Amino acid sequence: MIEFLAKGGILVGPILFCSVLALAIFLERLIRFAQVRIRGLGLVEKVAQHVRDDEHTKALEITRGSKSPMGHILANAIEVMDQDRETLETVIVHSTEEKVRELSRYLQALATIGSIAPLLGLLGTVIGMIKAFMVIQQMGGKVNAAVLAGGIWEAMLTTALGLAVALPTIVAHSYLISRVDRFEAQLQDGSVSFIKAIGKRS
């Protein structure tokens, strides 16, 4: 297999590196998302109950000990809950955006890999075709069909590799983006529930 891939030229290496990097990003984000889902389970309900019971210190301890995105947002909200409503909503929105950015970490890199992998493959094909035509020129127009065919399939190899890396990477990126969108919706729903709890209390 290594000998086969080596025939694709110097750009096979960067394409394979892109595939390894994309896989690493995908697995890292999957693990991170799994941790977020478990840690944030039922947090909003517990905190809202303590807020309704005027147990602010207990609510703050729970949110800070949660180590979840929702916990971070609620902790920031509790710290300013005695201020005006506009300040509270601004803090919640800012905290939510901050956590969404953290959840989206490396996803832009994944999208970039999905974009450049086929371009690297195409570049490798162009370079391979140039080499093939240089051989034809050196042969003085006496083209050997076997030599020409061999040069062309070696040139096309990088395009196939680039597409093979790009397609699953794009699918993985779309899947992770959908997960981030769901988490963002959950954070927003949790924030609304907390604001409603404050309203009932007041």
> Which pLDDT belongs to residue 55?
81
Low-confidence ranges of the chain (pLDDT < 50): 202
> Which pLDDT belongs to residue 16?
92
Angstrom distance (rounded) from CA 107 to CA 105: 6
What confidence tens digit (pLDDT) does each residue in 30-46 have? 998 888 766 665 788 88
Angstrom distance (rounded) from CA 193 to CA 70: 12
- Measured CA to CA in angstroms, residue 38 lies from 11, 32, 41, 114 at distances of 41, 10, 6, 30
CB 177 within 8 A of CB 107: yes
Global pTM value: 0.81
Angle (deg, nearest 10), helices 85-103 and 69-79: 160
User: What is the domain partition of the chain in residue ranges?
Assistant: 2-201
> Which pLDDT belongs to residue 40?
63
The HSE-up count of residue 191 (CA atoms within 13 Å, CB side) is 23
- Measured CA to CA in angstroms, residue 127 lies from 8, 11, 119 at distances of 10, 10, 12
